[in-house]
Amino acid sequence: MSSKKAIVLVSGGLDSATVLAIANELGYECFALSFDYGQRHCSELDAASKLAKQYNVLDHKTIKLGMGEFGGSALTDDLIDVPTEKSSGIPVTYVPARNTVFLSIALGWAEVVDAKDIFIGVNAVDYSGYPDCRPEFISAFETLANLATKAGVEEGGFRIHTPLISLTKAQIIEKGCSLNVDYSKTVSCYQANEKGEACGECESCRLRMQGFEKANMPDPTQYET
C-alpha cells in the first residue's frame, strides 16, 4: 500500500472530480473532504459521496458548517439572486473566506491522519474572479500551514497541491477525460435542483458549457428541461 496520504477537497463538481482522479493516479491514499456549508442545494454533496465511493477513498467526511448563518453570498443567502449575467469585479457568488475555512479544516484532518499533502481544485484561468483561487493565496496558506501546526514545525511540513490552477476549463476537461472521469456524475451548477439538474444559466454552468465546447467534447451535464 502507498505510504503517501492526501486530503482531497471534493465538492462534487467538475474540478474537484478531476483533482480526485489526479491524486488517485499519482498514487496517493486519498481522504475525501466535503462541506455542507449552507449552500443552496445538496445535489453536489450527493455527487461528492458517489465520487468518493467510486475512487475507493480511505475515508470521506462531510463537515457541516454554519456559513449560511451570516449569508453574504448568493450561494448561502436566498435573498441574493444567483446572477445569470457576467459581472465586473468579484461576483456575489463569492462566499466570504470559504477556501480559507475549507483548507484550515483539511489541515486539521491532515495532521490527525499523518497526511502531508492537500489537494484543492482552485483555478485562476477560467474562473469567476474569486480572491481565494489565486496562486498568491495558496502560497500564503501553505506558509501558514507550516507555521501554525505541530506537523509543520516538527515533521517537514505540508504541501498544498493545485493541479488545475493554470489550466483552462477545456484543459481540465481534457485531463479528466484522459483519466476516465465521468462528468455526467458531477454537479457544478450554483442552483441545481434536487435531481442534480443544472440551470444552464449561471456563470458556473456557462464556464462548464464553454469548456466542453472548446475541448470539442460532448457535454454530459444533466440540464433542467
Angle at 151 between CA 147 and CA 155, to 5 degrees: 105
Q: Which of 85-89, 148-152, 158-162 has the lowest mean pLDDT?
A: 85-89
Radius of gyration of the chain (CA): 17
How far apart CA 204 and CA 206 sit, in angstroms, is 5
- Residue 103 pLDDT class (50, 70, 90 cuts): very high
What's the half-sphere exposure (Cβ side, CA atoms, 13 Å) at 65? 23
Q: Which of 49, 51, 56, 21 is nearest to 35 (CA)?
A: 49
Closest to 7 in 3D by CA, of 98, 147, 135, 107: 107
Q: Nearest Cα to 50, choosing from 173, 175, 184, 163? A: 184
Q: Which of the residue ranges 87-96, 97-106, 143-152, 181-190 would you say has the lowest mean pLDDT?
A: 87-96
Domain covering 5-214 assigned CATH 3.40.50.620 in the classification = yes
Above pLDDT 90, what percent of the chain? Answer: 82
Residue 33 has pLDDT above 60, yes or no: yes
Identity at 22, one-letter amino acid code: I
Task: Pick the closest to residue 95 from 19, 160, 39 (CA basis).
Answer: 39
| Pairwise CA distance, residues 98 & 107, whole Å | 14
| pLDDT average, residue stretch 7-33 | 97
The yes-or-no verdict on residue 118 having pLDDT over 50 is yes
Is 24's pLDDT higher than 50?
yes
pLDDT of the residue at 129: 83
What is the per-residue pLDDT across 182-218, written as a single tens digit (0 to 9) for each? 999 999 999 999 888 999 999 999 999 999 999 999 9
Residue 126's pLDDT is what?
A: 67
Residue 131 DSSP label? G
Task: Give the per-residue pLDDT at 1.
Answer: 44
Q: What is the pTM of this model?
A: 0.95
